[in-house]
């Protein structure tokens, strides 16, 4: 144990290399001594060194694997799975992004700011943790969406990055419907009457690691993101819980929509044709 403790003070790679070389050194020395007709038993020394080396190497291997598992668990709580996997494989993340078509979903609890003023900070945090957990489980685990960020009680999620699928739009729409159902369940459980608004838009956006070398986010930026956010805000003015753009409606035949009108949103020079998501079509 003393030997292992002393060895742990030095560079691990050098130690492991040295320990692996010791048996060969003993073999060489034993051969030279034997050729000189001097007979000395080196078995116990050889065996002890080999045992110490094996235990040390195995211990380092198990410790490194345990550290990687812990790191992986921590990373998965902060970044998308594929980003965490790349970081563990490559050992670094670089700034940069790419333009790709994505579905952006914004969700927000209507009137939550005014309601939260009547609660203590601890109560607000406790509720938000429950609410965000329930919504996140639907986004991430049920529909494979990527949670971009939390902004208070607001959630931004993307479908189509880092990995895109043919049914990104359908999954986003199903996700929105299930998020609404889950909020109703939560209202019943907690005796609340909260309501949420969801806005969904489809289009090109820049997706990637954005920020500074020492602090970056895997995020999505661009006009598509801004438009989805503006659409979500309209749920406070329009009698609709889930509002989607024409870009969404024109790319799926599996849902029932209701046209709610053309609206001019901030940042857009032309009006947007918007629709209320009613439900998923029943299979016939």
Partners of residue 206 on adjacent β-strands: 99, 221
pLDDT for res 32: 73
pLDDT for res 196: 93
More confident residue, 197 or 267: 197
pLDDT-derived band at 82, boundaries 50, 70, 90: low
Q: Render the burial of 39-59: b for 16+ CB within 10 Å, e for the rest.
A: eeeeeeebeebeebbeebeee
Widest CA span of the chain, in angstroms?
Answer: 102
Determine what percent of the chain is predicted with pLDDT higher than 70.
68
pLDDT for res 7: 46
Asked whether 58 and 91 are in contact (CB, 8 A), the reply is no
Residue ranges per domain, the chain?
Answer: 2-76, 95-280
How far is Cα 252 from Cα 173, in angstroms, rounded to an integer?
Answer: 10
Res 28 pLDDT > 80: no
- Averaged pLDDT for residues 5-24: 58
How far is Cα 171 from Cα 164, in angstroms, rounded to an integer?
Answer: 11
Per residue in 85-118, pLDDT (tens digit) is: 666 666 666 778 889 999 999 999 988 888 788 8
Res 246 pLDDT > 90: yes
Per residue in 178-229, pLDDT (tens digit) is: 999 999 999 999 888 889 999 999 999 998 888 887 777 888 999 999 999 9
Among the ranges given (1-15, 150-164, 173-187, 234-248), the one the predictor scored with the smallest mean pLDDT: 1-15
Res 258 pLDDT > 70: yes
The tally of CA atoms less than 13 A away on the side-chain side of residue 163 is 9
More confident residue, 239 or 77: 239
Per residue in 147-172, pLDDT (tens digit) is: 999 998 999 999 998 888 899 999 99
Q: Which CATH superfamily is domain 95-280 in?
A: Nucleotide cyclase, GGDEF domain (3.30.70.1230)
């Amino acid at each position: 144990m003393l030997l292992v403790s002393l060895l742990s003070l030095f560079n691990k790679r050098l130690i492991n290399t040295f320990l692996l070389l010791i048996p060969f050194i003993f073999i060489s020395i034993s051969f030279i001594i034997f050729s000189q007709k001097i007979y000395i038993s080196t078995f116990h020394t050889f065996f002890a060194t080999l045992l110490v080396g094996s235990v040390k190497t195995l211990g380092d291997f198990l410790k490194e694997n345990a550290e990687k598992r812990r790191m992986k668990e921590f990373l998965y709580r902060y970044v998308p799975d594929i980003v965490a996997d790349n970081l563990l494989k490559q050992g670094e993340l670089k700034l940069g992004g790419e333009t790709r078509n994505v579905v952006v979903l914004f969700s927000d609890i209507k009137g939550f700011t005014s309601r939260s003023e009547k609660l203590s900070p601890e109560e607000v945090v406790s509720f938000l943790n429950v609410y965000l957990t329930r919504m996140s489980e639907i986004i991430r685990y049920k529909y494979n969406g990527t949670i971009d960020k939390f902004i208070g009680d607001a959630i931004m999620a993307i479908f189509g990055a880092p990995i895109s699928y043919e049914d990104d739009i359908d999954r986003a729409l199903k996700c929105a419907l299930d998020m609404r159902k889950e909020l109703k369940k939560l209202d019943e459980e907690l005796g609340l009457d909260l309501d949420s608004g969801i806005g969904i838009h489809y289009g090109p956006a820049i997706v990637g690691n954005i920020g500074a070398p020492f602090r970056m986010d895997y995020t999505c930026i661009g006009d598509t993101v801004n438009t989805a956010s503006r659409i979500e805000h309209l749920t406070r003015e329009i009698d609709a819980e889930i509002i989607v753009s024409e870009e969404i409606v024109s790319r799926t035949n599996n849902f029932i929509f209701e046209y709610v009108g053309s609206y001019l949103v901030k940042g857009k020079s032309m009006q947007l044709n918007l629709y209320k998501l009613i439900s998923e079509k029943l299979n016939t």
